[in-house]
Structure 1
Amino acid sequence: MQALYRKYRPKLFSEVVGQNHVKTLFLNSLKNGEISHAYIFAGPRGTGKTTVARILAKSLNCENKNGVEPCNKCNTCQSIDNGSFMDVLEIDAASNRGIDEIRKIRETVGYHAAQGNYKVYIIDEVHMLTKEAFNALLKTLEEPPSNVVFILATTNPEKIPQTIISRCQVIDFKNLTIEDIIKRLEFVCKKENINISQEALNEIAKRANGGMRDALTILEQVSKSSSKDITIEDVRETLGLVPIEVINEMIDSIKIGDIKKTTEIIEKVYFSGKDPEVFLMQLLEEMILKIESGDYELIEFLKPLSEILKDIKYSEEKLILIKLGFLSVMKLKPPRENIKKNVEKAEENEPIPESKLNDKDLESTQNVENKEKKIENKENISKIMEYLKLHGDLSLYVGLSFSKIEELPDRVKITFPPEKKIHYELVRSKIHELEKLYTSKFGIFKPFEVIIKENSKEDDVLNKLKSLFGNNFIVEGDNE
């Protein structure tokens, strides 16, 4: 049985999925007879680079063209499709990267076309060529015969020497959209009589990472390993993905700072044979979806998790690195056990209704509440300062040390004396970091206000009077 990606490889420009800018360029160039002598097709894998190269080769040599599109029926088109056409030579530079292969091209490039009108050289993964091979190719690219076209395909254009790039027309191939991939998958499923849910198609399109070839390969794999009707669970099981329920459970444990639960889930996923990198990617994807839905509390975890993903990529000790990484992540979130205990304690000791208190009791109760609130506010600020000192931005900690910090019911007020303007500017520039840290520590958002006291002689005089007489004096205004 022929692989789906080969069976449904486009044979006309109009059949190519996406890449409208590429199709328009070649349709116009063929129509006007303005074909360049050398092209670089640059883009991610599975986006149609080799496919477009073959269609272009057919269009240049087809015996019975339909406008500028190849007929796909003549001997030339069929020979190019099956790789037996003498004037279209495909080279895989990944396995033929030396100077000898390029010398063979130089030796044959000057000969007349044997079967068609144009000689087309398609060099795939051209960035894999050696430095000597590129140097050998350079002269041929600069002055090729008029009936020769070079197409250099690559997924890493940055590795191609500038001397080569300057002699070619560079065409960028883009990742396909999920919508384009789904539309093509629906077409293939209809042709192959594959029953599949829309959710499953969407999951396949997401996992293809913008490549049509990958999408068709996944579809074929799932169709062979699943029952008659393919569901999203079948796709996830075939690809070795972690169930979404486990991902959500992991996110919840991270949010509440439950280290034990987090490590249990990590071990469960690891020892079930799932790929740790795929697991972390799923975790990041789900967090991004939740953030887009308004759960901004998760933003602070994205960068640390992406760092874990980078750390384990080439390591053999993935489990221990993941655990260490998550322990660092959990420091961003204080454990909620104490909060839970306080809530339970508050529920057990319900306050006496105000209606049953006399004025003296009510005043006393309010004074106690205000005192407790003031103490709690001081503790909050102390926790912020302690975190900055040990784990956070040390410059921010130093700047705040020169200020007076007051936590009010609706905001946190930070006041600097007039001579500390540099520290004032530093803290003011990082106010969003403070707000984010406060939200992550205490679960509520409070705006931070940073002000600097004005230096006035009147303030100095008042301060001196207070030092001498306390508050037992009256300042009278001028009565003129």
Structure 2
Amino acid sequence: METLYRKYRPKRFSEIVGQKHVKTLFINSIKNNNVSHAYIFAGPRGTGKTTIARILSKSLNCENRKDAEPCNVCNSCISIDKGNFMDVLEIDAASNRGIDEIRKIRETVGYHTAQGKYKVYIIDEAHMLTREAFNALLKTLEEPPSNVVFILATTNPEKIPQTIISRCQVIDFKNIPLKDIVDRLEFVCQKEKFNATKDALIEIAKRANGGLRDALTILEQVAKSSKNNIDINDVRNTLGLVSEELIDNLLKNIKEGNIINILKIIDEVYYSGRDFETFLFQTIEKILLLIEENNNTEFINLLKPLSDILKDIKYSEEKIILVKLGFLNLINFKENNNKTTNKVLENIKKESEKIEENIESEKTEVMEKDIPKFDEVLEDLKINGDLSLYIGLSFAKIQEGSDKIKLIFPYSKKLHFELIKDKKSFLEQYIKRKFGITKEIEVILSNSTEDETLKKLSFLFGKNYKIEGD
């Protein structure tokens, strides 16, 4: 039985799912007879790199090509689809990565075509070639015969030498959008008479990570195990995924700090034969989903610890022990973090209360002034005079004698002290002009340095701090 991804492999550019930019580029290049001599197809697995390479090979050699699309019925198209066309050579660089294979290409590249118009060399997993093989390929890539096209397909373009990249046109393949994968799966299900729910196909598309080939492989696997009636539970059971309810229950118990229940959930996952890495990935995905869709950042601090657990268990045989230790550390960290936060909030609250008491005390001092004449001065300033002067004076403790008025400012109101000090002469003249009283005004800054900032420092560090001078 032919596998689904081979059975439904596209045979024309128009059948390619996604990669619109790639299809447009090659359709225009073929129409204008402007195909380059060498390409690098770079992108994730299962996104159509080899498929498009074969379609391009067919278009270049098709006997009845219409515009840019191959006819798929001529001898050349049929032979290329079957893999026995002599002028299209596919090389798997993962198993043929040495210099000898590249030398064979160099020896044959100059020969005339045997069956078609173009020779096409498709080197899959090209990044696996050795350095010597790449060096042997350099000259051929730079100046191939006019009827030769090289296509280097790779999932790791960063491993290809810059000397090779500079001689090729690099085509970037993207992950296929989720909706496009789901639409294709629905099409295949209709053809194969699979009865699949929408939720199941979305779950399959998510697990394919942007690759259509993986999606079709998963669909085929699930269909075989569920007898062609596919729902989301069938997908999760086949792929070893845990239920959404279990993930929600885990997060609920983490929030509540219920260690016993968390350990029970870990045992349930382990003894049901589920994969711990998949389980942790699902938990991370759920937290990210809560953030993206609901702006719920309640569990955002769990992301880093969970990723650390994933790293710890990757190459370990005792996964269940490490997972339990990881979750116990996570709960311990969360509790300590909450205690620290609560303590800080409590300290802030106490400090705020002290500051409020000081403010009320200062207000009381100002209100306790019993100098009738100066009250009239303040009222007149408020209504008819300098408002900034009025505000500054409202923070002073006023002592009025027979020939002198003392304005005493606490150290925390140094700014207001400076303001009134600069306007002392104006204030004396103002009182004389308005009320006919001649009195000297003395502006005093209290010697106390226990202002609010110093109180905060004292609260945080005790007496063990030192203030350096300017």
Q: Aligning the two structures, in what range does the TM-score lie when normalised by the shorter sequence?
A: 0.7 to 0.9
Q: Deviations over 1:93-130 (max 9, x none)?
A: 00111111111000100101111000000000000011
CA distance in 2, matches of 1:211, 1:21: 17
What is the DSSP-based 3-state SS (H/G/I as helix, E as strand, rest coil) of the residue aligned with 1:297? coil
**Do the aligned residues in 2 keep the contact of 1:236 with 1:243 (CA within 8 Å)?**
yes
What is the DSSP-based 3-state SS (H/G/I as helix, E as strand, rest coil) of the residue aligned with 1:406? helix
Structure 1 residue 266: deviation in Å? 1.2
Equivalent residue number for residue 383 of structure 1: 343
Equivalent residue number for residue 128 of structure 2: 128
Cα 1:330/1:2, change in 2 over 3 Å: same
- Where in structure 2 are the equivalents of 1:17-56 lying within 5 Å? 17-56=17-56
Equivalent residue number for residue 220 of structure 1: 220
The answer to whether 1:314 aligns with 2:256 is no
Equivalent residue number for residue 84 of structure 1: 84
CA distance in 2, matches of 1:454, 1:109: 89
- Where in structure 2 are the equivalents of 1:161-200 lying within 5 Å? 161-200=161-200
Equivalent residue number for residue 282 of structure 2: 282
Q: Computing the radius of gyration over CA atoms, which structure comes out larger, 1 or 2?
A: 2
Q: Tell me the TM-score normalised to structure 1 length.
A: 0.72
Q: Deviations over 1:298-318 (max 9, x none)?
A: 111112212222222222232
The answer to whether 1:406 aligns with 2:406 is no
Structure 1 residue 296: deviation in Å? 1.4
What is the DSSP-based 3-state SS (H/G/I as helix, E as strand, rest coil) of the residue aligned with 1:120? strand
CA distance in 2, matches of 1:411, 1:299: 32
**Do the aligned residues in 1 keep the contact of 2:414 with 2:445 (CA within 8 Å)?**
no
- Where in structure 2 are the equivalents of 1:231-380 lying within 5 Å? 231-292=231-292, 293-334=294-335
Cα 1:33/1:334, change in 2 over 3 Å: same
Q: Aligned-pair RMSD on alpha carbons?
A: 2.8
Equivalent residue number for residue 449 of structure 1: none
CA distance in 2, matches of 1:95, 1:2: 24
The answer to whether 1:462 aligns with 2:462 is no
Cα 1:157/1:294, change in 2 over 3 Å: same
CA distance in 2, matches of 1:181, 1:72: 24
CA distance in 2, matches of 1:317, 1:200: 32
Equivalent residue number for residue 63 of structure 1: 63
Between stretches 113-122 and 242-251, larger displacement belongs to 242-251
One-letter amino acid of the counterpart of residue 158, structure 2: E
What is the DSSP-based 3-state SS (H/G/I as helix, E as strand, rest coil) of the residue aligned with 2:334? coil
Cα 1:288/1:67, change in 2 over 3 Å: same
CA distance in 1, matches of 2:220, 2:354: 58
One-letter amino acid of the counterpart of residue 214, structure 2: D
Cα 1:466/1:384, change in 2 over 3 Å: closer
What is the DSSP-based 3-state SS (H/G/I as helix, E as strand, rest coil) of the residue aligned with 1:407? helix
CA distance in 1, matches of 2:2, 2:352: 67
Q: Deviations over 1:252-302 (max 9, x none)?
A: 111112222212211221222111110011111111222231321111111
CA distance in 2, matches of 1:120, 1:9: 20
Structure 1 residue 325: deviation in Å? 1.9
What is the DSSP-based 3-state SS (H/G/I as helix, E as strand, rest coil) of the residue aligned with 2:153? strand
What is the DSSP-based 3-state SS (H/G/I as helix, E as strand, rest coil) of the residue aligned with 1:201? helix
Structure 1 residue 334: deviation in Å? 2.3
Q: Deviations over 1:309-346 (max 9, x none)?
A: 2222222232222222222221342299xx9xxxxxxx
**Do the aligned residues in 1 keep the contact of 2:302 with 2:330 (CA within 8 Å)?**
yes
CA distance in 1, matches of 2:171, 2:196: 35
Q: Tell me the TM-score normalised to structure 2 length.
A: 0.74
One-letter amino acid of the counterpart of residue 306, structure 1: S
- Where in structure 2 are the equivalents of 1:446-457 lying within 5 Å? 456=415
What is the DSSP-based 3-state SS (H/G/I as helix, E as strand, rest coil) of the residue aligned with 1:127? helix
CA distance in 2, matches of 1:160, 1:167: 12
The answer to whether 1:140 aligns with 2:100 is no
CA distance in 1, matches of 2:276, 2:65: 51
Q: Hey, which bits of structure 1, 4+ residues long, moved more than 6 A?
A: 379-382, 408-413
What is the DSSP-based 3-state SS (H/G/I as helix, E as strand, rest coil) of the residue aligned with 2:335? coil
**Do the aligned residues in 2 keep the contact of 1:405 with 1:412 (CA within 8 Å)?**
no
**Do the aligned residues in 2 keep the contact of 1:256 with 1:333 (CA within 8 Å)?**
no
Structure 1 residue 465: deviation in Å? 9.9
CA distance in 2, matches of 1:6, 1:77: 16
What is the DSSP-based 3-state SS (H/G/I as helix, E as strand, rest coil) of the residue aligned with 2:448? helix
Q: Deviations over 1:53-101 (max 9, x none)?
A: 0000000000000211000000100000010000000000001111111
How many percent identity over aligned positions? 66
CA distance in 1, matches of 2:340, 2:106: 75
CA distance in 2, matches of 1:129, 1:173: 21
**Do the aligned residues in 1 keep the contact of 2:92 with 2:124 (CA within 8 Å)?**
yes
Cα 1:411/1:332, change in 2 over 3 Å: farther
What is the DSSP-based 3-state SS (H/G/I as helix, E as strand, rest coil) of the residue aligned with 1:296? coil
Paired residues, number: 370
Structure 2 unmatched ranges of 5 or more: 356-411, 419-443, 452-470
One-letter amino acid of the counterpart of residue 91, structure 1: I
Cα 1:408/1:21, change in 2 over 3 Å: farther
What is the DSSP-based 3-state SS (H/G/I as helix, E as strand, rest coil) of the residue aligned with 2:117? coil
Equivalent residue number for residue 427 of structure 2: none
CA distance in 2, matches of 1:314, 1:258: 29
CA distance in 2, matches of 1:300, 1:183: 36
One-letter amino acid of the counterpart of residue 158, structure 1: E
Q: Deviations over 1:156-203 (max 9, x none)?
A: 000000000000000000001110000000111111111110111111
**Do the aligned residues in 1 keep the contact of 2:62 with 2:77 (CA within 8 Å)?**
yes
What is the DSSP-based 3-state SS (H/G/I as helix, E as strand, rest coil) of the residue aligned with 2:175? coil
CA distance in 1, matches of 2:417, 2:342: 33
Q: Deviations over 1:340-374 (max 9, x none)?
A: xxxxxxxxxxxxxxxxxxxxxxxxxxxxxxxxxxx
